Amino acid sequence: MGHRTEVRRRAADRHDRTLKGKDVMTMNSQVTVIGLGNMGSAIARTFLDRGYRTTVWNRTASKAEPLAAAGASVAETAADAVAASPLVVICLLDSPAVEAVQETIADAVAGRALVNVTSGSPAQARINADWAHAQGATYIDGGLMGDPPYMGTPTMMLSFSGDPDAWKAQRSTLEALGTVAYYGEDPGLAGVEFLAQVAVGYEFLIGLLHAFDLVRAEGVDVAAFAERVAGTIGGYAPLVNAFGTAVASGEYGPDLGSLDVQAALMDDLISHRETLGVDAVRMREVKRLMDRRIADGHGDQGFSSLFEVLGEERAE
């Protein structure tokens, strides 16, 4: 008997055993977690803590030992792990790791709901969804915003997109992991949300570090400056909403003041940094965008209108 036939047989046997003597609620309380890094282990432990019958698998088997001690069933192969539960959560290092696992579970996924929370691009999520559908499975893509210790708390933010029926069926289970949001049937939308949210954080934080470099170069107490920034940063929330409204409508008021006035300030910001030998790449980029927008006759508009220049340059 070939390997694929054997996998199908084991999957069918497990499925039959699951149905016999069990109601729908019991069946839905079974979940498999593939990938037991820090995040995957936190997911599996959260399911165990919530009373789910949890099966786990990891390429390095020793990582499953703490979860086995906590009551998880450890599968010998990824295919066995998939066959054990109607819901399979995949949490691996990257997309190539997911692809490698897909090769081993193709014959076991039919009828399963696959939830992939591995970081990846929206395009990769759509490819994964096509693969799952071709195998007879449903697919939900997800993004995790939070650290492993926060898994299972409202602080852990999870974005999902993909098969709407599968989402409806699995939502209550996925809510055990944290605060969830569903962005639509397109499986790439969760990735869009995740990558954009993370990008906002990195853009802000690298700018913050450059500002710290600036104030330290001037002999200012960085910790005290950081405390002052923390006290004012909440004021940006209304501005974020205002910018989003302006970009969506294409109507740009003089937020932060007109570009004509702001452009002059940029010269001071650039000169200050360059005098101290502090990186000024971002400030020069902002000034270049402002100068182009002003040259196009929009000097009376505000900072949010630079979005139009970004679109123009992308099209060039």
Dmax (CA) for the chain in angstroms is: 77
Letter string b/e over residues 156-171, b meaning 16 or more CB atoms within 10 A of that residue's CB: bbbbbbbbeebbebbe
Low-confidence ranges of the chain (pLDDT < 70): 1-28
User: In whole angstroms, what is the distance from residue 56 CA to residue 40 CA?
Assistant: 9
As a whole number of Å, the CA-based R_g of the chain is 25
**pLDDT tens sequence across 154-213:** 999 999 999 999 999 999 999 999 999 999 999 999 999 999 999 999 999 999 999 999
H/E stretch holding 116 reads strand 113-116
Global confidence as pTM: 0.83
- Cβ-contact 77, 104 below 8 angstroms: yes
pLDDT, residue 291, reads: 96
